[in-house]
Amino acid sequence: FFEGRAKFPRFKSKHHKQSIQYPQSVTVVNQNLKVPKIGEIPAIFHREITGTIKTVTISKTPTNKYFASILCEVEATELKELGDKIIGIDLGLKNFAIVHDGESVTKYANPKHLKRHQKNLARKQKKLSRKTQGSKSRAESKKNVAKVHERIANSRQDFLHKLSRKLVNESQVIVVENLNVKGMVKNRKLSKAISDVGWGMFVNFVNYKLQQRSGKLIEIGRFFPSSKTCSCCGYLVDELPLDIREWHCPNCHTHHDRDENAALNIRNEGIRILTEGGGNPVFADGGCVSPPACKSKGHRSVNSEAYTDPIRAV
């Protein structure tokens, strides 16, 4: 901090996740984890331990479960090659992800993890509120509430891991928007749904999985008008409220689905960023990445940072 390399420390509550790390001298003996000053601890190993154990982090969850995360050093293995696609992803609430690869669109529904457990969670929270402070029954009720939250978190992580793995296996480059989630949750009507969906966690999963395979993640600016720009001619409309899910371009009269159009524009903007400074690049089929922008009376045209591909209309 005093060297100027770090920011101010964040507050860390004692009620947050509890963990301790052992950097050395941890071994596996007869399906037990041998920890310094504690001894052998019975454990369930989810996979065979290979390589050299470097560190072990033991953590406790709110449901009083203990987990040991074992970091091992192993020899590098050959990984499967990634797909050759460049995809653009528009993240949303009705559909979690709208994926465009330049030719086709795939929509992945939002599982709504919290909504599926909402009644069960409310019932257990109501029971907890009626318990006496400091009683054993209150501690038990608190644990039951934590179990529901744990189930929701596990469900969310499982969905995000599986989807991110599928997309990474199929693609060489993935383009997403850099969303201002902190500002978006200020909308009281959508804050719960936005907090539950896990956009940030999904992007983190995609990023580290792409890095493992030498892929590339591109995050475009949050002010890029992906929804308001026509992916066919590059025309930019002045206003497009959230309740309008489909619209017609007044310049080329193309009919657009809002989310599909946004996903295609995100993809095209990612390609432009990749090829910036290299003249006027083209696709294999001859489609230009950076067509000239439309100009029309009464409407402002798209600027040089929002050029899109006219060949790839939905």
Which one of 101, 177, 269, 309 is the catalytic residue? 177
- Token pair, residue 51, equals 């390589």
Give the type of residue at 53. Answer: I
Distance, CA of 235 to CA of 230 (rounded, Å): 5
Strands 32-35 and 39-42: antiparallel
Given the residues 40, 243, 246, 259, the one annotated as active site:
259
For residue 89, CA distances in Å to 27, 98, 123, 219, 281 come to 43, 6, 37, 10, 22
Question: For residue 69, what are the β-bridge partners?
Answer: 57
Residue 208 has phi, psi (to 5 degrees) of: -70, -30
Burial 48-58 (b: 16+ CB within 10 A, else e): eeeeebeebeb
- Catalytic-residue membership of 90: yes
Question: 246 CB contacts (<8 Å, ≥6 apart)?
Answer: 255, 256, 257, 258
Instruction: Identify whether 177 is a catalytic site residue.
Output: yes
Marked catalytic residue, from 75, 81, 90, 103:
90
Q: Is 101 a catalytic residue?
A: no
Spatial contact of 314 and 99, defined as CB atoms under 8 Å apart: no
Enumerate the active-site residues: 90, 177, 259
